[in-house]
Structure 1
Amino acid sequence: MSSTPENLSNTTTASDGEPKASKRWAISMFGTAVGAGILFLPISAGEGGVWPLLILTIIVGPLVFLAHRGLSRYVLSSDREDADITTTSEDHYGHAIGMVITVLYFLAILPIVLIYGVSITNTVDGFIQQQLHGPEIPRWLLALVLVGAMMLVMLFGQKLMLMITGWIVVPLILALFTFSIYLIPQWDFSAFSQAPSATGLLTAVWLAMPTVVFAFNHSPAISQFSLAMREEHGDDANAVASKTLGLASTILVVFTMLFVWSCVLAMGSDGMAQARASNDTVLTFMANTLDNPIIAYAGPIIAMAAITSSFFGHYLGAAEGAVGIIRAVRRTPREDFNAKTVQKIVAVLLFVITWLVAVANPQILDIIEQITGPVIAMILFILPVVGIYTIPALKPFRRQWVVNAFVVVFGLIAISGLVTQFFL
């Protein structure tokens, strides 16, 4: 259930050379992660002030790398060469538990697709009215056109989607970096003189964790990435995957945290609170509030590119998850399963649901904090560590108990956000 289509592994063969293939996969995983999460992370992480953000900056690098490496190892633990995360789960734990994991995986991805539908509608709507001084387009119509346009790319096939994503990702990295540097003259360091209480500090870190998990999540790419590593490198798959994930994590953390710090220092925690209330991405909010023509036009355009690049990948994951659930419920043999018909039905349903949610315009950060972040944490942080202690093939990694404990603890912190919202 990848943001990267199955045939991508055929384009990153060993003949390309390991460094080139690794860079391609690292950029692909960056494209999966860079989206609404990154554009909302400054808001959620910055509301608590600079000191909680400093703690998050210290822990996020190791956390992102170790969690995604663990999930890759989990996928590679299957003896079957074509096993993805759902097949691996069924192989190790049986049909019932495998079904539960498949449903959780689908639930981890579907809300992200819905978030992108809301985000692209809000961003374009604000851009038309605020920057272009155009008319207010009925929300139902604007959402229909925007969600429909992104879906149309998917209908033309994975090759077109890959080509468009390739056009977007590298310029997007450069744009985020340039935007971060451009904000430096507006940085205000006075917030460092205000030390929070220990309770306030820990609470702010805790509340930001679900969004942090969401912002750096590239787990939808891990299944196909791991399959490609197995196909290309055989017994060395784990070692090469670890290096590639290290590269991907480095790119993500460096560019994302530079962007987050630049936004927070320029806007302050009060500005981030106002951005949350507006239900806009941080770039859209700055475009509408700062008297700067460059930010006014560049901010929404960068946001649109980030949302679009991530929508493609997560839509594929959501669609594959839905098809997998239907197949598992019907228990139809793979050779007798009419996948094309089911895929068309799933595409229509996902389009309608995404459009309706975009029209409803729910609070995006509420979705991230209450649903998406905690469910992703279950798959990304808890499942691989459980696998280490229950799957014989992963037994060698049990000695890394400090690493395993680190991943589980922060996974539980993210999950607790769900418990807090619903029961407290």
Structure 2
Amino acid sequence: MEPSRPTGPVAGGTEAGPAGHAPAAAPTLESPAPGRPDGTAAAPGWNRFDSSWTIGLFGTAVGAGVLFLPINAGLGGMWPLIIATLIIGPMTYFSHRALSRMVVASPRADRDITGVVRDYFGEAAGRLVTILYFLAIFPIVLIYGVGITNTVDSLMVNQLGMDPWPRWLLSGVLVLLMSAVMVAGQRVMLIVTQWLVYPLIAVLFSVTLLLIPSWSFEGFGAVPAAGDFAMSLWLMIPVLVFAFNHSPAISQFSVSLRQRYGAGSVQKASSVLRVTSILLVVFTMGFVWSCVLALGPEGLQAAKDANLPVLSHLANVMGLPIIAWLGPAVAVTAIGSSFFGHWLGAFEGAQGIMRGMVDPQSRRFSDRGLRIGISVFLIASTWIAGVLNPSILGLIESLAGPVIAAVLYLMPMYAIRKVPALAPFRGAISNVFVVIAGIVAVGGILLSLFG
């Protein structure tokens, strides 16, 4: 499938633009309204267009990451989890706002993040960003190949009473089924994900409430030593970054706002991202706390040892019949919906690398041949990952989380520091906070490699 340029917000990791909103002509950032300390104009009040983007960004973040976050976050104990709950909202909001500002501050309204980086830093930097995006997204595609295989295997054995399939066969069938949605075309993918994301959100919230009677604070009361506390929080940060990440949608979100609101897009982006971050913290951390308190330390460790999403493990150990069936179904739905969007991102990243560095003149590979080659590569690598069954949390901690953090947290801060067009955003204390958070997240890979 050849990806087309997205035009609207993303739900469940894929584009789902609000209907009926054509880009409107608007003033540029060079003629801001007076009275704004950052030199930008005021935007109109909240409207349906903004709500559509809020839901789209929310759906982008709520995917498979949230199903593994309770395991990693809860194993560190209650006190690191409390700190994580307090800081993840500002981390998410300020980092995504900075990435958005890189796009909306550009005087060229049609530029996405890759074009903006080329404008700001040159062609070499544009190529580097393409590589980083691919490195940030491709491991997540592999993670979903592992997750879907383990989840369906658990469903077949524990809920359906079936004999397990050979892992190579089960993983191959599942990866091919998910890939078939992508091969069918972007329109089919959008239809499938739009039907998945809203029931997913509703059911996850219902599960959060259903677990309340099973809450127990036993085993969480002890205050850890300072060193253990810091280490637990540090290990938690990369998975938090992954679970709350909606950066794949930020570029087109920013382009859409830039075309609609012009100079007011900076203020409007801040407003939409603030609401999105609040919803994510309330929903995701509420789900995390409910799962952690229902399972307890021993249950969380058992889920990690089984390499299962938390809902699949809950389905195996809880006495509630509804959890036994909804748990695996929600896990499969979340992984599937997120897989589609990340496949598209990995495809685009691989295509950009090939066309930008390997075959810029299209002499070695035709467009059709390149599409087939990249699709075969993604299918084969995801299938192999599903068969080998590497540690999902290990992949997130050591690769996906830190690379996403480098692109999402550190690159925008460097741009704000160096690019004249972003000068109005310098000097804020939030910039220091984002840099520190990014360094901590990227440091997770050093801990995994050399710890």
TM over 0.5: yes
Q: CA deviation at 1:199?
A: 2.1
CA distance in 2, matches of 1:220, 1:343: 21
List structure 1 segments (4+ residues) > 6 angstroms apart after TM superposition. none
Whole-angstrom distance in 2 between the partners of 1:372 and 1:206:
15
- Contact kept? 1:106, 1:318, Cα under 8 Å: yes
Q: Could you tell me which residue of structure 1 aligns to residue 435 of structure 2?
A: 408
Given candidates 396, 400, 412, the residue that maps to 1:368 is: 396
Name the CA distance, whole Å, in 1 between partners of 2:218 and 2:246. Answer: 34
1:171 equivalent in structure 2: 199
Question: Which letter does structure 2 place at the counterpart of 1:413?
Answer: V
Work out which of the residue numbers 225, 230, 238 in structure 1 matches 2:258. Answer: 230
Q: CA deviation at 1:352?
A: 1.1
Which runs of 5 or more residues in structure 1 are unaligned? none
| Alpha-carbon separation, structure 2, partners of 1:113 and 1:342 | 19
Contact (CA 8 Å) 2:7, 2:252: kept in 1 or not?
no
Equivalent position SS for 2:163: coil
The C-alpha deviation readout for 1:46-82, integer Å capped at 9, x for no partner, is 0011111000000111110111111111123333333
Distance 1:43 1:283 in 2: 10
3-state SS in 2 of match to 1:193: coil
Q: Give the counterpart of 2:240 among 212, 215, 239.
A: 212
**Normalization by structure 2: what TM-score?**
0.89
Q: Are residues 1:322 and 2:350 paired?
A: yes
Q: Distance in 2 between matches of 1:191 and 1:244?
A: 39
Q: What residue in structure 1 maps to residue 127 of structure 2?
A: 99
Give the 3 Å change call, closer, same or farther, for CA 4–69 of structure 1 in structure 2: farther
Which structure has more helix as a fraction of its residues? 1
State the shift of 1:216 in Å. Answer: 0.4
Alignment of 1:14-413 (within 5 A): 14=21, 19-330=47-358, 332=360, 339-400=367-428, 402-413=429-440
Name the counterpart of 2:40: none
Distance 1:68 1:8 in 2: 17
Listed one character per residue, the Cα deviations across residues 72-115 of structure 1 (whole Å, up to 9, x for unaligned) are 11123333333222222222212222222211111000001110
| Distance of 2:92 and 2:103 partners within structure 1 | 17
Counterpart CA distance in 1 for 2:137 and 2:323 is: 31
Cα offset, 1:419, TM superposition: 0.8
2-structure distance, mates of 1:204, 1:327: 42
Q: May I ask how many residue pairs the two structures share in their alignment?
A: 421
Q: Distance in 2 between matches of 1:29 and 1:122?
A: 27
Contact 1:13–1:21 (CA<8 Å) still a contact in 2? no
Specify whether residues 11 and 94 from structure 1 end up closer, same or farther in structure 2 by C-alpha distance, changes over 3 A only: same
Cα shift readout 1:373-413 (whole Å, capped 9, x = no counterpart): 1101100110010010011111000021x100101111111
What one-letter code is carried by the residue in structure 1 that aligns with 2:270?
A: S
RMSD: 2.2
| Structure-1 separation of matches of 2:196 and 2:90 | 27
Q: Residues 264 and 149 (structure 1 numbering): CA distance in 2 closer, same or farther, change over 3 Å?
A: same
Whole-angstrom CA distance in 1 between matches of 2:368 and 2:254: 25
| Contact residue 131 and residue 297 of structure 1 kept, 8 A | yes
Give the share of equivalent positions with the same residue, in percent: 48
Checking the alignment, whether the CA contact within 8 Å between 2:105 and 2:266 is kept in structure 1 is no
Residue by residue over 1:222-261, the C-alpha shift from the partner in whole angstroms, topping out at 9 and shown as x without a partner, is 1111111112222222222221112221221111001000
- SS at structure 1 position matched to 2:122: helix
Contact 1:172 1:302 in 2 (8 A): yes
Distance 2:110 2:172 in 1: 37
**1:180 and 1:62, CA in 2 relative to 1: closer, same or farther beyond 3 A?**
same
Q: 1:371 to 1:129 in 2, by over 3 A?
A: same
